[in-house]
Structure 1
Amino acid sequence: MTLHQTSFCFICCHLTSGQKEGDELRRNADVMEILRKTWFPRVQGSRDEKSPQTILDHDRIIWLGDLNYRIALSYRSAKDLVEARNWGALLANDQLRIEQRSGRVFDGWNEGRIYFPPTYKYSNNSDRYACNDMHPKEKKRTPAWCDRILWYGRGLHQMSYVRGESRFSDHRPVYSIFIAEVESINRCRIKKNTSCSSRIEVEELLPYLH
């Protein structure tokens, strides 16, 4: 979408699942394929001849979904850290953070501070991780922050990054609030407005009804 002279792109995806060693590389490959193969056609009649054609051509980008990156620890070690609410030690072994630091995926992207418990895997309709309810012979799923929100580009300021407590899935949803700067041309000069100084009603983004 384009708001005044600023383009936005939102990507919601579900990357490759699995917690075997090497599965994180398959998720990295998914991200690269999405970036490489996603193209946007030029809008006919658009006054902007340089409208974005790729994801990274946009000014502000938000990427969210079940990214499926896991915790690179044994089930028992991760479970003990979750029970101790030691998020720092868990995040030090978070595959997404590790892959970002190495420059293999989402290089230059941002993610907010995580102060909430891992979002996967829960027993349906409960607040218990599924690993606590599994039969001893079943494969245990190590708790992990599978559900993430990242952003790219200047002019995005994250105000909150939290998880919801809906119980209808084996995941807990996450959500975030951003302030976004947009550029608007006014009297031949470009001014930057934030949501604090310029409020845009939802109706302005919808087509007129007749």
Structure 2
Amino acid sequence: MNGTVPRSKVFPFADILTSEPETSPSFLSSSSTIHRTNHSKSNMIAIGCQEARYTRAFKSWLDECLKLYESEGYALVHVVHMGSLTMVLLASWWMIPDISLQSGFATKNIFNRVFGNKGAVYASVRYKHLSILFVNCHFSAHQERVAERRNDYKKLSTKINMRFPLNDTTKQRCLRDGEDDLKQKFDHIFWFGDLNYRINGTRSMVDLLLKRNDQEVMLSNDQLIAEMKREHVLSGFQESEILFPPSYKFDTYKQKQASSSSRWSCRRVAPCPTDFQFGCGANVYDTSNKCRIPSWTDRILYCTRGLSEDDSQTGGGIECESYLCALDVMDSDHKPVFGQYIVPLKTEGRK
């Protein structure tokens, strides 16, 4: 959120998650109310914010957003906050009596008893016999710090794992499988946030690929995809197909006028590839002196326990309805990324 409070009094994807879906194009602005499938609105919503200063203005904005969800039949389950990380959980009002919750936070470093802006907030939600863990994280920044992001994941996942002790059932399962990790303790896990992984290459190279709309080459150079293939981070997790342009780093609304004159400069600063298709003329990637490489820093990963190898490769029984970004949000240098998923209430042999 770039330390700012949005001008809009609604979450950028609120109308998408609470509306009746239709059919979606590859790139979608948040003002649309369209989907890829014909399922009804979401029953549970998890919202993660990074670089969100928990000020009076932010809390006022959050209250206004929650009023919208209440009018749509949702109830607040929980808000968990640490430093500049916030996660909000909501559910349809009729689910509330059957929901129990356990939440917390994990941080990389604490300076003089003050939390830094890197770490994770999380919440374990149990609905009847189903357990889901939601993790909202913020990893180390900068193009070259892949190893540091790897350590962030290992440190944070270990701290979160220690927060949930093994019961008799999970002890038996972990002994059988020879491991003790989060994937053995929950039916489903959603791990999302600003993971800060970048596209390997140069700015001029990525700008050219953006102009050509060459998604395949950019994804083949994505650091997170490479790290997951080597099982360095998020082993066993899945990500839906990325059909949206890199969600970072954009000029913010305040920079719009200053950057418009330099968008065709000798540095070949690239506009968003959907500028002229969807009317996002202000969407210009970083025109500052740092000229950061456009990247998919904001991601949503998920996994399900107790799967065969074939099942895990197909998403683990979780069906993705949409995985997109809100291109018309101008308040931050990141575009909000959102996904909608169908999560089975039971897996084979277990409710």
The TM tier, using the shorter chain, reads 0.7 to 0.9
- For each residue in 1:59-100, what CA deviation from the matched residue of structure 2 results, as whole angstroms up to 9, or x when unmatched? 100011000000111111111101111110000000001111
- For each residue in 1:137-164, what CA deviation from the matched residue of structure 2 results, as whole angstroms up to 9, or x when unmatched? x222000000000001133211110111
Partner of residue 229, structure 2: 101
- Tell me the distance in 1 between the aligned counterparts of 2:233 and 2:334: 23
Distance 1:41 1:148, change over 3 A: closer
8 Å CA contact retained: 1:155, 1:182: no
CA displacement at 1:54 relative to structure 2:
6.0
Which residue of the other structure, out of 90, 95, 104, is the alignment partner of 2:218? Answer: 90
How many residues matched?
175
- Residue type of the partner of 2:299? R
- Residue type of the partner of 1:129? Y
Partner of residue 160, structure 1: 322
Which residue of the other structure, out of 79, 82, 96, is the alignment partner of 2:207? Answer: 79
Partner of residue 37, structure 1: 159
Partner of residue 182, structure 2: 55
Partner of residue 128, structure 1: 284
- Tell me the distance in 2 between the aligned counterparts of 1:10 and 1:50: 21
CA displacement at 1:37 relative to structure 2:
1.1
- Tell me the distance in 1 between the aligned counterparts of 2:300 and 2:191: 6
- Tell me the distance in 2 between the aligned counterparts of 1:41 and 1:79: 44
CA displacement at 1:40 relative to structure 2:
3.1
- Tell me the distance in 1 between the aligned counterparts of 2:345 and 2:234: 23
- Tell me the distance in 1 between the aligned counterparts of 2:303 and 2:196: 19
- Tell me the distance in 2 between the aligned counterparts of 1:157 and 1:61: 14
For the residue of structure 1 that corresponds to 2:323, the secondary structure is strand
Distance 1:176 1:35, change over 3 A: same
- Tell me the distance in 2 between the aligned counterparts of 1:24 and 1:123: 24
Q: Which structure 1 segments of 5+ residues have no match?
A: 43-47, 185-189, 193-210
Partner of residue 52, structure 2: none
What TM-score do the two structures reach when normalised by structure 2?
0.47
- Residue type of the partner of 1:34? L
What TM-score do the two structures reach when normalised by structure 1?
0.77
For the residue of structure 1 that corresponds to 2:302, the secondary structure is strand
Which residue of the other structure, out of 91, 112, 119, is the alignment partner of 2:240? Answer: 112
For the residue of structure 2 that corresponds to 1:11, the secondary structure is strand
8 Å CA contact retained: 1:69, 1:146: yes
- For each residue in 1:141-193, what CA deviation from the matched residue of structure 2 results, as whole angstroms up to 9, or x when unmatched? 00000000000113321111011121110000110001011139xxxxx786x
Partner of residue 137, structure 2: 13
- Tell me the distance in 1 between the aligned counterparts of 2:156 and 2:208: 36
Q: Do residues 142 (structure 1) and 293 (structure 2) align?
A: yes
- Tell me the distance in 1 between the aligned counterparts of 2:333 and 2:208: 20
8 Å CA contact retained: 1:62, 1:149: yes
After superposition, the CA RMSD in angstroms is 2.2
Q: Which structure 2 segments of 5+ residues have no match?
A: 1-124, 172-179, 254-281, 305-315
- Tell me the distance in 2 between the aligned counterparts of 1:91 and 1:8: 29
8 Å CA contact retained: 1:60, 1:155: no
- Tell me the distance in 2 between the aligned counterparts of 1:25 and 1:19: 11
Partner of residue 345, structure 2: 182
- Tell me the distance in 1 between the aligned counterparts of 2:207 and 2:243: 17
Greater RCO (CA < 8 Å, at least 6 residues apart): 1
Deviates more, 1:90-99 or 1:50-59: 50-59
For the residue of structure 2 that corresponds to 1:65, the secondary structure is strand
- Residue type of the partner of 2:337? V
CA displacement at 1:35 relative to structure 2:
1.1
- For each residue in 1:96-117, what CA deviation from the matched residue of structure 2 results, as whole angstroms up to 9, or x when unmatched? 0111111211122100101110
For the residue of structure 1 that corresponds to 2:346, the secondary structure is strand
Identity of aligned residues (%): 30
Which residue of the other structure, out of 176, 196, 216, is the alignment partner of 1:68? Answer: 196
